Structure 1
Amino acid sequence: MPNILKSLAALSFIPMLLAPITVQAQDAGAAQQSSIEADREAARVARQAEKEAARVREQQEKEAEKAAKAAQKEEDKKAKAAEKEARKAEKEAKEASEDKDKEARKAARNAEKEAQDQRDNNAAEASVMGTSLVVSPDKADPDNILYLDLSTGGRVTIQLYPEIAPNHVERIKTLARQGFYDGIIFHRVIDGFMAQTGDPTGTGTGGSDLPDVAAEFNKFPHLRGSVSMARAQDPNSANSQFFIVFYPRFSLDNSYTNFGRVISGMEYVDAVPRGEPPSNPAKILQASLKSQNKPEPNYAAQAQPAERAISVDELNAPISN
């Protein structure tokens, strides 16, 4: 009996021993529950934050897209405005260019008209002048009649005009008296334009030993048969070379000194071979003044032999001497 009581007493003590363990277990469970709930809350807060962040990003992207569209729209507007201004400027420039071209054409027409009027006036004045200057050879001063005996077969008679170009006429007369022009070729002959001579070297660069003559430009026009002084770029560089005009060339007026005109024998000038220089140039056999009373040379004796024709046989074999 006492043993049983002792055993029961011992068993009654067990709950007292287990009570702290149970409380401790309950506290641990509560702490674990609290931790779980905290994790859940943290996860919920995180999800909420992520959701808010996503919303903010979406809003920012929408605003950025909106701003980009607005900027593009503004750029397009500016580009259209710039294109419009460019078209306007191009149109104005084109109109200005067309106006300028019209003005230039108008000015050119006016200048041409003025030039033509001037040429007409020159021709009219020259016609009046020519009435007093051009006289028949038998009545002209024999010292102002120049003869050119050409290798083309005849005598060319030139009336000199000291009234319009005294220094040039005096130069031609001085050289003619010296025999300077005898034997000189026509070194530059342009068809439809003129035949030039007076260079002892035959190159177009030579002249006499006398000093150059200052220009004496005048209103006498360059007509067919006009005799005018050649020169270099310098207007005051005339010396011994002169040319005879085949056809009227008014562009030479007031730029070259016209000092005489052919009054007979122009056909012998027309027969001068063309070229710069011609392959078989004509030459002045003799130049003289009427006052010197020199007879004409024997043209047949001094005529240059015609170029010998070459046969086919000669072309196919060496030419023997």
Structure 2
Amino acid sequence: MAAPSTGLTVAQVLERSPAGDWRPLDPQNTLLMDLGSDGSRQVIIELAPRFAPRHVANIRTLAHEGYWDGLAIMRVQDNYVTQWGDPNTEVPEKAKPLGKASPKLPAEFSVPLKGLPLVRLPDADGWAPITGFVDGMPVAADPKTGQAWLAHCYGIVGAGRDMAKDSSNGTELYAVIGQSPRGLDLNITVVGRVLQGMQHLAALPRGGADMGFYGPSEPRTPIQRVRLLADVPETERPALEVLRTDSTTWPALLQARRVRKEEWFLHSPQHINLCNATVPTRPRMK
């Protein structure tokens, strides 16, 4: 049986949400990536240590030591991903040193479903028997295998790898900028999601015929710097908060998206899927 309508629009649900249903950014698990020659285009990325602890720890080290500073966007493939890192990673004498970060990590494709604080979605999903959210992240799961994993939805951030399953270390990252490529699930370590600034990744010039990788004559968008929020003075941190997916507002918001009460809608979908159940952010309330 479908849940009853809230009788509210999406905007009204969010307007009436109590302050306790929102959480601040976690300084230890948030990245600020400043793009462009002047660094004016900022992308805020939330990391997922519950699902990829080794990769997230490595990414923290890389950001703390300034690994991505001065590197670039290497790939923009239409309806797929924007990818960044060191264009010279395959040339040892030119590759940027990793500092204290680990050069090799185990694959972290999934975690045990048992004990996971999953807020389930009742809506059907074609890719997994169970879907829902944990810590604001879109999660799919299979009770037969007992495993859960982060799903490749729009804005999700993963660690690029080669043929070997354990060939990612977090130095080369990508964000999904197109229709959710769920076929990548359980094949790549997912490390987090973009909270704000997707327009700066999705609107970049597309790369060439080689899967969107920029050729020698194609200009790359520079990365001025990537910082861990904990390394940024408090006065310079983004004043942003995130809706908790374990809150009372979250299911009300989902239902308002299923049963649309906005005047414009002539038809309500009566359905929502994992990848369009996006988690809102807002300026931090004082």
The two structures have a TM-score, normalised by structure 1, of: 0.47
Q: Please give the secondary structure, in 2, of the residue aligned with 1:146.
A: strand
| Structure 2 residue ranges without an equivalent (≥5) | 1-20, 111-148, 208-212, 238-286
1:27-66 matched pairs, under 5 angstroms: none
Aligned pair 1:277/2:207, yes or no?
no
Please point out which of 51, 61, 67 is paired with 1:180. 67
Structure (1 or 2) with the larger CA radius of gyration: 1
The Cα of 1:293 is off from its aligned counterpart by 1.2
| Structure 1 residue ranges without an equivalent (≥5) | 1-134, 297-321
Partners of 2:86 and 2:60 in 1: CA distance: 16
Aligned pair 1:142/2:142, yes or no?
no
**Is 197-206 or 245-254 further displaced after alignment?**
197-206
Aligned pair 1:242/2:173, yes or no?
yes
1:215-234 matched pairs, under 5 angstroms: 215-218=107-110, 219-234=149-164
User: Which residue pairs with 1:287 in the alignment?
Assistant: 226
Q: Please give the secondary structure, in 2, of the residue aligned with 1:267.
A: helix
Percent identity for Structure 1 against Structure 2: 33
Q: Please give the secondary structure, in 1, of the residue aligned with 2:191.
A: strand
Contact 1:182 1:286 in 2 (8 A): yes
Partners of 1:172 and 1:159 in 2: CA distance: 12
The Cα of 1:153 is off from its aligned counterpart by 3.9
User: Which residue pairs with 1:212 in the alignment?
Assistant: 104
Q: Please give the secondary structure, in 1, of the residue aligned with 2:25.
A: coil
Partners of 2:63 and 2:227 in 1: CA distance: 5
Partners of 2:222 and 2:106 in 1: CA distance: 27
User: Which residue pairs with 1:299 in the alignment?
Assistant: none
Contact 1:177 1:288 in 2 (8 A): yes
Partners of 2:32 and 2:160 in 1: CA distance: 19
Q: Which protein has greater RCO, CA pairs closer than 8 Å, 6+ apart?
A: 2
CA change 1:204–1:233 in 2 (3 A) is farther
The one-letter amino acid of 1:190's match is: Q
User: Which residue pairs with 2:46 in the alignment?
Assistant: 159
Runs of 4+ residues over 3 Å off in structure 1: 202-210
Which structure features the higher share of helix residues? Answer: 1
The one-letter amino acid of 1:215's match is: A
Contact 2:47 2:191 in 1 (8 A): yes
CA change 1:173–1:259 in 2 (3 A) is same
Aligned length: 161
Q: Please give the secondary structure, in 2, of the residue aligned with 1:168.
A: helix
The Cα of 1:230 is off from its aligned counterpart by 0.3
The one-letter amino acid of 1:149's match is: D
The one-letter amino acid of 1:171's match is: N
The Cα of 1:174 is off from its aligned counterpart by 0.5
Q: Please give the secondary structure, in 2, of the residue aligned with 1:171.
A: helix
Partners of 2:163 and 2:61 in 1: CA distance: 24
Contact 1:184 1:202 in 2 (8 A): no
The one-letter amino acid of 1:196's match is: Q
The Cα of 1:290 is off from its aligned counterpart by 1.1
Which structure features the higher share of strand residues? Answer: 2
Partners of 1:162 and 1:147 in 2: CA distance: 17
